[in-house]
Amino acid sequence: MHRTTITQARELLQNKKISSVQLTEAVFSRIDEVEDKVQAFVHLSREKALQQAQDADARIAAGEEAPLLGVPIALKDLICTEGSRTTCSSKILDQFVAPYNATVTEKLNQAGAVMIGKTNMDEFAMGSSNENSHHHPTKNPWDLDRVPGGSSGGSSAAVSAHECVASLGSDTGGSIRQPASFCGVTGLKPTYGRVSRFGLVAFASSLDQIGPLTKTVADAATLMNVIGGKDPRDSTSANVPLPDFTQALRKDVKGMKVGIPKEYFTGGIDPGVEKSVQEAIRTLESMGMQTVEVSLPHLDYAVATYYIIACAEASTNLSRYDGVKYGYRTEKSDNLVNMYENTREEGFGEEVKRRIILGTFVLSTGYYDAYYLKAQKVRTLIKQDFENALGQCDVIASPVTPYPAFKLEEKLEDPLQMYLADIYTISANL
């Protein structure tokens, strides 16, 4: 029962072949069975979830219908849920209890979802392996010696291990797509502004976006129908009509053009990954799609551009964590400044501190024009490259990462290798 998709679960629940309580209990039984190995979660809401399941069964019995009524869903641990811990997998927020719901949390509640818990992640979404979590590293369900990807590794692993029917993650530079690839599930980074960021703890505000991790494309479309749309509480959410994404699944792709960027296959990609991508392209061709070569001439600058902008925004967003109003506060301080310093030194992990330092540097006097301002100009050039490419085709085919899931601790001491692995995903965020 725990292996059901959203589509299957909805049908079974509405036809009263199973109850939401039965489905939720089956999911928790699966969690009890594998969680000590996979470690996808940081907090479970068993009692609250079972109460939500009972409420969903009562609503179904009364003839109500809702897109996710009675379906168990997990949330990445940077999406606020009122009255529950939202830690961002960081020591500095380890005991923080959110005083309000994120917009996506409210929309899931309105759609009847059963919230089973919060999934593990790289601290403040900074990482590509889930090894930067303050709590513990999550393991890849397909091979427990390998990483699940990051930063939404807990969400992808939970879906892959059938510890939930679906989950939400966030994507700043590939943090939904890369773990989805590593764990063999469906991951979608929506267009910036399509989904409200209200209640999402910020890493890089101009790059962050919430999206689904699911077992099927149809399930991703269903979740997008629920979480998408304009939100007056988020000034960056797009004021455009929300289509029915499930309708697009019925469209024929025959005659559509798929662009193949020539810069994506010039070296540095694992032979197995390249083979899989080429096989996927041939499948698209067999469905009637036409392939055309396109160019992204500024791709070589994408990684540097992304990390300059992301770290600059992170250094600003994370400046609020100082031990004064909420979160962790050091016990070792002689004065106010000393308290700030020790709180941040003890509360943040090494990768977060590395990015804060880098971001502060590129925003500092004498370096702002040389780094941050130049990165914003190159960002515009990269965006123009994609606009030009998409003027020649309907979609672009791309690898997600240069290599498959790597071993735990294999790249932990070489952050540059982690950064370079984002080459295929970050441009969509820029």
- Domain residue extents for the chain: 6-250, 299-429
- Amino acid making up residue 200: L
286 catalytic? Reply is: no
Marked catalytic residue, from 151, 152, 170, 315 = 151
Q: Is the pTM above the cut of 0.75?
A: yes
Give residue-wise pLDDT tens across range 71-87.
999 999 999 999 999 99
Mean pLDDT of the 396-414 span = 94
Tell me, what's the pLDDT at 266? 81
> Picking from 329-333, 355-359, 396-400, which range would have the lowest pLDDT averaged per residue?
329-333
Residue 156 CA to chain centroid, in angstroms?
9
Residue 1 has pLDDT above 90, yes or no: no
* CATH of 6-250 given 3.60.70.12, 3.90.1300.10, 3.40.50.2020, 3.50.50.60: 3.90.1300.10
Tell me, what's the pLDDT at 325? 86
> Picking from 201-215, 228-242, 321-335, 380-394, which range would have the lowest pLDDT averaged per residue?
321-335
Residue 219 has pLDDT above 90, yes or no: yes
Residue 20 CA to chain centroid, in angstroms?
26
| Exposed/middle/buried for residue 237 (C-beta within 10 Å: 0-12, 13-18, 19+) | buried
| Contact (CB, 8 A) for 418 and 334 | no
Tell me, what's the pLDDT at 31? 98
What 3-state class would DSSP assign to 301? helix
Query: What CA–CA distance (Å, rounded) separates 93 from 121?
Result: 13
Per the prediction, the chain carries an average pLDDT of 96
Residue 369 has pLDDT above 90, yes or no: yes
175 catalytic? Reply is: yes
17 vs 20, 64, 298, 397, CA distance in Å?
Answer: 10, 16, 54, 40
295 catalytic? Reply is: no
Mean pLDDT of the 330-353 span = 93
Residue 417 has pLDDT above 90, yes or no: no
Mean pLDDT of the 204-233 span = 98
Give residue-wise pLDDT tens across range 254-306.
999 999 999 998 888 999 999 999 999 999 999 999 999 999 999 999 999 99
Marked catalytic residue, from 76, 107, 189, 411 = 76
Tell me, what's the pLDDT at 411? 92
Above pLDDT 70, what percent of the chain?
100
Marked catalytic residue, from 89, 175, 181, 315 = 175
Above pLDDT 90, what percent of the chain?
94
Pairing of strands 290-294, 210-214: unpaired
Pairing of strands 166-170, 395-396: unpaired
DSSP 123-158: GGG--SSSTT-SS----BTTBTTB---SSSHHHHHH
Tell me, what's the pLDDT at 329? 94
Can you state the angle between helices 374-390 and 302-317, rounded to 10 degrees? 130
Cross-strand partners of 210: 170
Tell me, what's the pLDDT at 315? 98
Residue 333 has pLDDT above 90, yes or no: no
